[in-house]
Structure 1
Amino acid sequence: MTYSPIPCADYDQYELWCMQNAELLITLDSGEQLQGKAVNLKIIHPDGEHLIITTAKGEHNVRLDLITSVVVV
């Protein structure tokens, strides 16, 4: 699946959450949910931009264009 860039304002919000180490509940377009602390943003070629979160199970790379909702918990 080809990466589809997200709006700049959304990217800025992810950056802010990373600076705050915010605890997020993320829902993906598949319906899967992940909860963890926002750590960093990273470009992973060829997959696109990812949010790095840490969860109880370790570190996860979450592709930004697959996120359908985010709740700060």
Structure 2
Amino acid sequence: MSMNDEYQPINCDDYDNLELACQHHLVLTLKLRSGEVVEAKAKDLLMRKKVEYLVVEASGEQRDLRLDHIESFSHPEIGTVVVSAE
């Protein structure tokens, strides 16, 4: 999936779970659609040019992950959430 693909908003419930993770700075295990697995602390959600991102901190570095590039995320408190389109 290229970064130029048109952004597909994610399901509202999935977004709400990510928002909760950010509020509590939960460390999530994120599986990206590219196959990459990232373990990172959820920091913030932001929108840039009509594309939504999850801001995470992994190994001391900040990354912005496009929400529609996240296949699933998990944490013991919220379980595993498979991200779906709106």
Shared fold per TM-score greater than 0.5: yes
For these two proteins, the number of residue pairs brought into alignment is: 72
2:48 is aligned to 44
1:58 is aligned to 61
Q: Deviations over 1:11-59 (max 9, x none)?
A: 111100000100001011110111110000000115x100000010500
Identity %: 35
Q: Quick check: which has more Rg, 1 or 2?
A: 2
Say if 2:30 is the partner of 1:26.
yes
Q: Distance in 2 between matches of 1:57 and 1:45?
A: 26
Unaligned runs of 5+ in 1: none
Unaligned runs of 5+ in 2: 77-86
TM-score with structure 1 setting the length: 0.92
RMSD value, Cα:
1.2
Runs of 4 or more off by more than 4 Å in structure 1? Answer: none
Greater helix content:
1
